Amino acid sequence: MAAMNISPEIISLIDEIKNDKTHGASQLARQAVDVLKVAAEHSQADSVEQFLLEQKAVGERLMSARPAMAPVFNIVNRLLGIIAEKSAEMDLDSIRCLTISKSDELTSNSLQAVAQIAEHGLGLIDDGDIIMTHSYSSTVVAALKEAFTKHRNIEVITTKSGPGRTGERIAQQLGLHGIPVTFIDDAAMGLYISTVNKVMVGADRVCADAKVVNGIGTYQLALAAKIASVPFYVLCETLKFDSRLRGDEVDLEEKDPSEVVEPGKLPPEVRVKNPYFDVTPLELVTGIVTENGLLAPEGVISYLVKQPAKDS
């Protein structure tokens, strides 16, 4: 019944996140918390209880919009938890103001984490490096821009990055920044892997079993890097660590088959699949760079063990 309180405008904003094919998980998490802020600003609730029900309904819809992306769940769940905890001691105007201010704070914290990761990532990048990346990550883009700005003579090879073609966004942003970029099809990653010094990718989730969920094709790139003895780094804020689900329990978000092949091109007996994410085992990862620094594989497991499981 609470879901009926969600306005069409808010539903439209949630659908933008659900259908987004170009932005990374951190950006969509910040966008999600901004939806809660907008809902608070335009709330028609006449009591604290009704306001909390509205926020919960919007939050639940947001958390289910992108099930593979842990930071969307985590940031929304964090904000809902803060306002629920404080609600007993506040009136309606106060809880509305708290929701708005805390949403801004969470967004600021996420942006600060990305900046810190870029600084930590700088220490992994040597002058003259050729770095391969795959699947759009605002964090990886920030790190590569930071390295180039700090006079690292780097080059980047980016893949098309699956049917969603988020690699084009990477190439455009890095190219406009002046970084030499080579754009390749995903099928060519194995051919080019021996020419690079390291791989840097983002993540949409670090699972309870320490497996990494990221854009489809990341697993193949990690395998190729392992065989070629190329270091494989994941850059992501701890907001993406999620002890609720193992890698084999994550919804990998099947998308429209028409992105893979034009409708009617194949016989109707042929099934076309279009998963947007895959799962990379931690043993293929050299390390995960967070806002707190570089975590070796054993450090990732230790962090997850200490992280309390959240309600799903």
Assign 112 to helix, strand or coil.
helix
Assign 253 to helix, strand or coil.
coil
d(CA 75, CA 65): 13
Is residue 311 part of the annotated active site? The answer reads: no
Residues 204, 209, 278, 311: which is the catalytic one? Answer: 204
Cβ contacts of 57-63, under 8 Å, gap ≥ 24: 57/2, 57/3, 57/5, 57/6, 58/6, 58/10, 58/14, 60/3, 61/3, 61/6, 61/11, 61/14, 62/14, 62/17, 62/32, 62/35, 62/36
d(CA 99, CA 78): 11
Residue 65 CB partners (closer than 8 Å, separation 6+)? 14, 15, 17, 18, 32, 72
d(CA 223, CA 6): 44
Of 271, 149, 177, 79, the closest CA to residue 158 belongs to: 177
d(CA 93, CA 191): 60
Residue 106 CB partners (closer than 8 Å, separation 6+)? 30, 33, 75, 78, 79
Cβ contact 146:119 at 8 Å: yes
Cβ contact 190:165 at 8 Å: no
CB atoms within 10 A of CB 267: 6
Q: Interior CA angle at 100 toward 97 and 104, to 5°?
A: 140
Assign 289 to helix, strand or coil.
strand
Residues taking part in catalysis: 204
